[in-house]
């Protein structure tokens, strides 16, 4: 690809103002959203075994930590704004970098911001009942469910409710706040990440102490741990419905652990966001790899302890028609809100308010971290001539990508109003995993292509651990393609839609380059 015209000497540059604590807060804050409070119900239904329930989080921890260790080398080698986009561009070529950035903008980053901001609105409704997804201010249309092969499209409302109006306000508030310097955005991130770490620690402490009860222990662990290992043997079979409305088949332990990774991996995603901000991190060759390890390690340990805490408070197996949280158990917690059910068991009516407050803190901090980080990718794409030119400019005073922040906010607002973000996120998790695999393949490629490039940090356990990640992640992808096509093919289609867009931008850049030469 031709190189776009470079920045002039007078153009503002990104300012390196994020220290190790701030970069680690971005990792932690971006990872912990609302997922850990709800996905455990679906994991419990899928595994139907306390041992496999916790095993799913162990698999997620191995995958995520191995990937973080591998990304550390790439981050130290190429400490540039854009992070994973840059790694894919440099190792596999500009097309792959663009497809990642395109998917990030279209769904991954903006869809996640929309989801957590709407979750913020929903849980604000616990304190202010007028804030609700069913309280419409402008109901445009109801799109019915439309079966398309193995998936279902539609089944969503388009319009502005009080809940997504709050979400839209949060989206633009955070975009504007992050315009006024990366230090301000980082300060908000530090405050809310510290608050959510304290709230998660409190949840774990309560579950392990006052919340622990004999009924849950007997149901989940039993005498001699007999209940704990139930349905977890190599010969145990688990029912999985293929696609939407497809046949139910029986699968073994390795397959069911791969199937339920859709929930646990989604809850643990966004750990790579700190790489997007590399141009603004002090001593990035040291601090980014370190923040990746510290941040992901902390969150993964917290997730495991939280899930173990759920088993100490509530029985895993439950009755969907039960009238109490103990009878419904983890599998059938109301609207899958397992954490709320746990606090309701401990504090009764006050538990819902405590959990709502914790989720408000968590989602706000998550949205801020993803807002700050995502804009840096579009900025890097624009500097390569692969996005709108204005997006590649910085505010002359605050040195922040103003247009990138606002464009991201506008598209996120559209996803909030359309109600499509939830379906899009379901569809894209498979594609996210594929991009992680490609990036770690890029680690091997760069070791071969650029053996003498400076590598202040080298991936721990190379080549064994990166190869282990590729093998495990590839297995999950194969299983999802076979048993959950509704989560795979739509995501691949969204990625492939980026190819003609890439051709358009690259030809446009080529024409400009030729015009400049002539």
CATH number of the domain encompassing residue 495: 1.20.1740.10
pLDDT given for residue 104 in this prediction: 94
Task: Give 197: exposed, middle or buried? Use CB within 10 Å, 0-12, 13-18, 19+.
Answer: buried
Structural domain includes residue 1: no
Domain-located, residue 2: no
Instruction: State mean pLDDT over 418-422.
Output: 74
Residue 303 lies in a domain: yes
As a whole number, mean pLDDT of residues 103-115 equals: 91
pLDDT exceeds 90 at position 144: no
Distance CA 450, CA 447 (A): 6
pTM for this entry: 0.92
Give a yes or no: residue 6 inside a domain. no
Rounded CA gap, 383 and 94, in Å? 13
| φ/ψ bin of 322: left (φ > 0), alpha (ψ from -120 to 50), beta (otherwise) | beta
Residue 174 has pLDDT above 50, yes or no: yes
pLDDT, tens digit, 9 for 90 and up, residues 87-104: 999 999 999 999 999 999
Residue 427 binned pLDDT confidence (cut-offs 50, 70, 90)? confident
Q: How far is CA 390 from CA 84, 251, 384, 385, in A?
A: 22, 51, 12, 11
Average pLDDT over residues 12-29: 91
Is 14 contained in some domain? Answer: no
Residue 479 confidence class, pLDDT cut points 50, 70, 90: very high
Percent of the chain with pLDDT over 90: 62
pLDDT at res. 168:
95
pLDDT tens profile 434-476:
999 999 999 999 999 999 999 999 999 999 999 999 999 999 9
Report the alpha-carbon angle 337-340-342, nearest 5.
110
**pLDDT level of residue 150 (50, 70, 90 thresholds):** low
Q: What is residue 158's predicted lDDT score, i.e. its pLDDT?
A: 84
On the question of pLDDT at 7 being above 50, the answer is no
Q: What is the pLDDT of residue 6?
A: 47
- Tens-place pLDDT, residues 230-249: 999 888 999 998 877 778 99
* Any domain includes 197: yes
Q: What's the pLDDT score for residue 516?
A: 62
Domain assignment present for residue 177? The answer is yes
**pLDDT value at 202 more than 90:** yes
Residues of the domain holding 384: 20-513
Which has more pLDDT, 142 or 393?
393
Q: Is the pLDDT of residue 8 over 70?
A: no
Kindly report the number of other CB atoms within 10 A of residue 218's CB atom: 12
Q: Report the alpha-carbon distance of residue 220 to residue 317 in Å, rounded.
A: 8
Residue 500: inside a domain, yes or no? Answer: yes
- Residue with token string 């986009």: 85
Please say whether the beta carbons of 41 and 336 come within 8 A. Answer: yes
Q: What 8-state DSSP symbol labels residue 397?
A: T
Stretch 99-123: mean pLDDT, rounded? 91
Cα separations in angstroms, 115 against 108, 337, 370: 11, 15, 12
Can you tell me the distance from the alpha carbon of 76 to that of 362, in angstroms, rounded to the nearest whole number?
A: 29
Average pLDDT over residues 208-225: 91
Task: Return the SS3 of 344.
Answer: helix
Q: How many domains does the chain have?
A: 1
Rounded-to-integer distance, Cα 7 and Cα 286, Å:
27
């Amino acid at each position: 690809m031709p190189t776009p015209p470079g920045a002039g000497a007078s153009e503002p540059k990104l300012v390196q103002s994020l220290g190790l604590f701030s970069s680690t807060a971005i990792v932690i804050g971006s990872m912990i959203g609302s997922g850990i409070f709800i996905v455990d119900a679906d994991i419990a239904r899928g595994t139907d075994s306390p041992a496999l329930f916790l095993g799913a989080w162990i698999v997620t921890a191995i995958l995520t930590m191995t990937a973080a260790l591998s990304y550390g080398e790439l981050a130290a080698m190429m400490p540039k704004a854009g992070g994973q986009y840059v790694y894919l561009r440099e190792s596999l070529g500009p097309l792959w970098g663009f497809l990642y950035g395109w998917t990030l903008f279209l769904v991954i980053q903006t869809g996640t911001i929309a989801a957590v901001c709407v979750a913020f609105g929903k849980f604000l409704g616990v304190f202010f009942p007028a804030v609700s997804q069913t309280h419409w201010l402008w109901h445009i249309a109801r799109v019915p469910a439309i079966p398309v092969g193995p998936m279902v499209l539609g089944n969503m409302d388009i319009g502005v409710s009080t809940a997504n109006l709050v979400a839209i306000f949060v989206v633009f508030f955070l975009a504007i706040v992050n315009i006024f310097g990366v230090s301000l955005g980082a300060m908000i991130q530090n405050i809310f990440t510290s608050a959510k770490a304290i709230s998660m620690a409190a949840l774990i402490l309560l579950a392990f102490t006052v919340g622990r009860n004999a009924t849950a222990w007997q149901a989940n662990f039993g005498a001699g741990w007999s209940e704990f290992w139930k349905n977890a043997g190599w010969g145990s079979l688990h029912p999985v419905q293929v696609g939407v409305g497809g046949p139910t088949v029986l699968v073994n332990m390795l397959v069911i652990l791969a199937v339920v990774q859709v929930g646990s991996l989604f809850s643990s995603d966004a750990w790579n966001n700190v790489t997007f901000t590399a141009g603004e991190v002090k001593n990035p060759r040291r601090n980014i790899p370190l923040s990746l390890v510290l941040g992901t390690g902390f969150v993964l340990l917290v997730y495991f302890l939280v899930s173990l805490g759920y088993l100490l408070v509530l029985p895993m197996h439950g009755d969907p028609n039960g009238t109490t949280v103990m009878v419904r158990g983890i599998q059938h917690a109301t609207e899958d809100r397992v954490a709320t059910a746990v606090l309701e068991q401990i504090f009764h009516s006050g538990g819902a308010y405590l959990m709502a407050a914790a989720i408000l803190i968590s989602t706000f901090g998550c949205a801020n971290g993803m807002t700050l980080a995502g804009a840096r990718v579009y900025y890097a794409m624009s500097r390569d001539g692969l996005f709108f030119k204005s997006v590649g400019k910085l505010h002359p005073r605050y040195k922040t990508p103003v247009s990138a922040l606002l464009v991201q906010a506008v598209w996120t607002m559209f996803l909030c109003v359309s109600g499509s973000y939830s379906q899009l996120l379901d569809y894209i998790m498979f594609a996210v995993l594929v991009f992680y695999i490609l990036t770690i393949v890029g680690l091997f490629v760069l070791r071969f292509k650029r053996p003498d490039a400076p590598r202040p940090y080298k991936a721990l356990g190379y080549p064994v651990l990166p190869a282990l990640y590729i093998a495990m992640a590839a297995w999950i992808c194969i299983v999802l393609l076979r048993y959950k096509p509704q989560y795979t093919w739509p995501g691949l289609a969204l990625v492939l839609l980026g190819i003609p867009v890439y051709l358009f931008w690259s030809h446009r850049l080529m024409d400009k380059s030729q015009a400049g030469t002539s």
